[in-house]
Every structure is written in structure tokens, then in C-alpha cells.
Amino acid sequence: MIVIKQKSPAPERDFFVLRRYVKVKFMKKPTTILSDEHKNILKVIGSVLKQCEEIESGKEIDKDFFAKAVDFIRNYADKFHHSKEEDILFVELNKDGVLEHCNPIGQMLHEHSLGRGFVKGLSEAVLKGDKTEAVKNARGYCELLQEHIFKEDNILYPMADEALKEDAQKSIAEKFAQVAELKFEEKEWEWYNEKHGN
């Protein structure tokens, strides 16, 4: 009798499949994940506001600090965090019959866009060494995000928790896990936590 042995999946593929399964099975609610990410963003915002105070007291712009801050905002706050909201959570909430009244998604998207404008202005001002514009855009971004995060944590996310059924929550969690793998390697994620998570 001839026995045909089936090829087992590559060990690397097994590892990533298992890791994703574990992440999804023991994952927090999608809104809890996003709220935890807000805490990281708020810590960086606190550091940016301190730098603004130092500039206003007469110090020169710390270009190295602001380069790192802008990198964090663009890659973590926007491409990683906001993309999960815009491409996954908000899409689910905008489906017919999910949020039937007082849908705030349009306003949240508008504020994301405003934030990108402030970051662009900040980056340009730092390169030029323009203290006034750097502080103006940095404070504009920080104040916007503080209010934005408060609205999401206290209004939008509770609405989402109430509106989304369990199967939808699991689907969102699975997509969040995929985004985490695609957007950040483990070392990059640790780097952001070490630099900004204290």
C-alpha cells in the first residue's frame, strides 16, 4: 500500500495563523482597543504641549523632538489608529440600520482631516524654524485631538458598543488584528511603546 504524506503548512504560516487566532479569541472589544490607543496618543500630546511651553518661554524649536512627534502622529495616530476607525469601525457603523439616529461619523472624519492639516502645518513650520506657526499648529492639533478623543471615548464608542451585534464585534476584532500585523512589525510596535508609552 502506498501512503501519500500530505505536506504540512510552512512553520512561519502556522505561527502567524495561531498568533492571529489567539489575538482574536482573547481580544478586548474593538472600542476598548481604540480607547487604549487613545491613551498612547494623549501621552504624546502632553509632550508636544510641554515643548510648546518651552518655545513660548524663549527656547529654540527642538527639531529632533518634533520630527519624532510628527512621525508618531502620522504613523501611529493616523495610519494605524485612524485607519482602523475609518476603514473598519466607521464602515460598519455606517451600514443601514446600525446607527439610526444622530450619526456622528461625518464629524469624526472631518476632525481627522483637520488634524492632518495641523500636522502638515507643524512639519512645515519646524523645517522653516518658524516658532509662531509651529506652536500655532502644534497647539491646534493637540487641542483638537483632546476634544476629539473625549467625544469618541464618551459618545461614539458607547454608541458603537450598544449598536453593534456580537458577530459584528468579532469581525471588527479580526480585521483589527490583521491591521496590526500589516501596519507594524513587532519591533516597530515595541519602539513606539518604549518611546511614547511611558
Does residue 4 carry a pLDDT above 50? Answer: no
Q: Which is more confident, 114 or 1? A: 114
Lowest mean pLDDT segment, chosen from 8-12, 62-66, 126-130, 141-145: 8-12
Predicted pLDDT of residue 184: 56
CA angle 89, 92, 93 (to 5 degrees): 85
Predicted pLDDT of residue 177: 87
Q: Which residue, 178, 15, 165, 173, is CA-closest to 89?
A: 173
Does residue 61 carry a pLDDT above 70? Answer: yes
User: At the topology level of CATH, where does 40-196 sit?
Assistant: Four Helix Bundle (Hemerythrin (Met), subunit A) (1.20.120)
Q: What is the pLDDT of residues 67-121, one digit of tens each?
A: 999 999 999 999 999 999 999 999 999 998 888 778 899 999 999 999 999 999 9
Q: How far apart are CA 198 and CA 194, in angstroms?
A: 7
Predicted pLDDT of residue 121: 98
Q: What is the pTM of this model?
A: 0.79
Q: How far is CA 91 from CA 1, 82, 86, in A?
A: 55, 12, 7
